[in-house]
Structure 1
Amino acid sequence: MDEVEVIVAHSERATLRVANVFLKIDADQQRVDREVEAMALAPVPTPEILWRKPPVLALAALPGAALGRLGERDVAPPAAWVAAGAAIRTMHDTLPPLWRGQDAGELGARLEAECEWLLDNDVLPTDLVIRNRRLAEAVLRAWTPVFIHGDLQIAHVFVAGDRVTGMLDWSEAGPGDALYDLASLTLGHEDQLEHVVAGYGSEVDLELIRGWWSMRSLLVIRWLVEHGFDPSAPGCEVDVLRARM
């Protein structure tokens, strides 16, 4: 009998792997419905859905390997990052889903609440929070909504050589700011931004991408701490914020 590998597990959901099958367990069926619909709409490779029996969604493993992981040294070749940028562009050129997506007003309110929590609980130095909040606020402007993945961290992009073989975890997909996906992919791997942009194939505002690095990091630190993860590990979210200083 194959071993069961715990990929990620916390109070909201868990993902297990048995041989070449991934089992996603999620009590929020609306979130799973959205993920299944997003994968059906996506113009890039996604995992094959083997079966679904709530609260479990069974997915086939993707070929290749993850582009990388936050906090770890880059091992994928530059061509893989270029290919990832091209795949993102293909997605962004597709009509976005009809459901509600990112909202600048809601993001601003979340940013304010998370920064207050970081300061009230002495999680980060005041100057670090203030500086990064100022950078993050720059992204709170009008944007043309595109089809974004919504959680495009590098562990969710699989590659084989210079080819993208698939993208995982579509539960946050919807209409949103194109630069958010580019920033999510390169968070903590800033040296790869030029390769991703080269594959993306159009000019992007690099300062706004840096603003999204600050925004994503500030918004996620409390959740990571409360769910047993360490945002202060080398190369992770706290280091991303320090790099902005």
Structure 2
Amino acid sequence: MDEIEIVVAHRQRTTLRVGDLFLKVDAHPTRTAVEVRAMALAPVPTPTVVWHQPPVLAIAAVPGRALGVLGEPSPASSAAWAATGAAVRRLHDAPLPPWPGVALDDVRAELDRECAWLLEHAVLPADVIGLNRDIAEAALRPRPPTFVHGDLQLTHVFVEGDEVVGVIDWSEAGPGDPMADLATLTLGHEERLDDLLDGYGPGADRDVIRAWWSLRSLVASRWLIEHGFDPDAPGCELDVLRARAREAGDGRQGGTR
């Protein structure tokens, strides 16, 4: 080992890589505890827990490479995306974990709060925020919960060839909306949705997935800004919101002709 790599560092969490070991230090120790429990229950490949002493979790590196990065084309094959869909389906079909998920009313309240902040700080034009808030409403429907990852970004799925070899960062796992996982994976990568659903199988609702693209982008933008990330980078959250608003606006104009 020649050096320590800082993988991510912000006020809520710092992750360090020391050789083949990742050390995660979380401001909320319960999140690392959830991560350990979720990885033990999930029927998909997960990192090996080396040791856990809150607030620090030590896990082994997983093989392969990430499915992609937000804002850049995914280098993974269609077959790898389909394999990811099949792995996510196994997770969603697994028994629910024995801790509560996020209540639908809390999701709605957070969405309204974040939309108000985006408007107050003029992060985007009011019509873009309003159109996306309307789109997001479709995600706020009552639904039976499933075992979800909760933060299934494509950087959290590792593949080797056409096989999923590791899924990382389980601190948000719990009972939730399966369409949210599918939406998070394809946020900014709409062109990969068909490949993902080929592996996932029946039951996916494309309209709800699209609603979650809007909802997640609206809710995440302030956090990203306040923690030193750029949601306005090409292909990222603010681009997604603009694209969704354009599509919604074009649809409304088409309906009046």
- TM-score norm. by structure 1 comes to 0.98
AA matched with 2:108: G
Residue pair 1:66, 1:158 contacting (<8 A) in 2 also: yes
Name the residue aligned to 2:143.
143
Q: Secondary structure at 1:138's aligned position in 2?
A: helix
AA matched with 2:88: I
CA deviation map 1:182-213 (0-9, x unaligned): 00100011100000000001142111100000
Name the residue aligned to 1:194.
194
CA deviation map 1:151-196 (0-9, x unaligned): 0000000000110001000000000111010001000111000000
Single out whichever of 186-195 and 197-206 deviates more from structure 2: 197-206
Name the residue aligned to 2:210.
210
AA matched with 2:31: R
Q: Secondary structure at 1:231's aligned position in 2?
A: coil
Name the residue aligned to 1:67.
67
Single out whichever of 143-152 and 67-76 deviates more from structure 2: 67-76
Structure 2 gaps of 5+ residues are 247-257
Q: Alignment length, in residue pairs?
A: 245
Q: Secondary structure at 2:98's aligned position in 1?
A: coil
How many angstroms apart in 1 are the aligned matches of 2:242 and 2:190? Answer: 13
How many angstroms apart in 1 are the aligned matches of 2:130 and 2:54? Answer: 43
Structure 1 gaps of 5+ residues are none
**What pairs with 1:1-245 in structure 2 (closer than 5 Å)?**
1-244=1-244, 245=246
AA matched with 2:90: T
Q: Percent identity?
A: 59
Task: Report the CA distance between 1:46 and its aligned residue.
Answer: 0.5
How many angstroms apart in 2 are the aligned matches of 1:57 and 1:177? Answer: 27
Task: Report the CA distance between 1:243 and its aligned residue.
Answer: 1.2
AA matched with 1:145: P
Residue pair 1:148, 1:177 contacting (<8 A) in 2 also: yes
How many angstroms apart in 1 are the aligned matches of 2:50 and 2:208? Answer: 39
Task: Report the CA distance between 1:54 and its aligned residue.
Answer: 2.8
AA matched with 2:187: L
